[in-house]
């Protein structure tokens, strides 16, 4: 069902979803929907479905902590990504770059993360990508 964005008003049309008008958020939501995807969580550990070997040890949980990395780490990640042949004009959208940044945030080698299943990789890449494109508020 298509909605006329000009006539949308949350007060008049409660049955319409909040995304019917991309310029207005539903009154129940204080922030944008994307902002809710990345929060500083108390528990940064992620369980992975298939164990991987990191520094010679088998690991079933990974901790993603962006406070551990610095600007220098981001620049080194870009240099490493470019050295691997990635020529993306917007480096922060490159999956290689996102994996390298995630590896630095976890304190592991990026090659160790390549053995992850696609679903586990998505669990790591999604918050990393959002971290890279979001700004601090």
* pLDDT for 103 beyond 90: yes
CB burial string 68-101: b at 16+ within 10 A, e below: ebeeeebeebbebbeeeeeeeeebbebebbbbbb
String of DSSP letters for 25-82: --TT-SS-TTGGGS---S--EEEEEEEEEETTEEEEEEE--GGG--HHHHHHHHHHHH
The tens digit of pLDDT for each residue in 45-100 reads 888 888 888 888 888 888 899 999 999 999 999 999 999 999 999 999 999 999 99
């Amino acid at each position: 069902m298509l909605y006329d964005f000009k006539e949308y008003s949350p007060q008049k049309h409660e049955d319409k979803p909040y995304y019917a008008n991309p310029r207005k958020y539903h009154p129940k939501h204080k922030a944008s929907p994307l902002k809710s995807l990345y929060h500083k969580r108390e528990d940064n550990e992620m369980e992975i479905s298939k164990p991987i070997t990191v520094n010679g040890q088998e690991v079933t949980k990974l901790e993603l902590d962006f406070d551990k990395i610095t600007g220098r780490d981001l620049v080194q990640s870009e240099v490493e990504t470019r050295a691997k042949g990635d020529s993306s004009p917007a480096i922060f959208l490159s999956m290689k770059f996102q994996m390298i940044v995630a590896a630095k945030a976890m304190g592991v080698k990026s090659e160790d993360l390549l053995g992850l299943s696609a679903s586990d990789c998505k669990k790591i890449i999604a918050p990393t990508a959002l971290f890279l494109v979001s700004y601090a508020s």
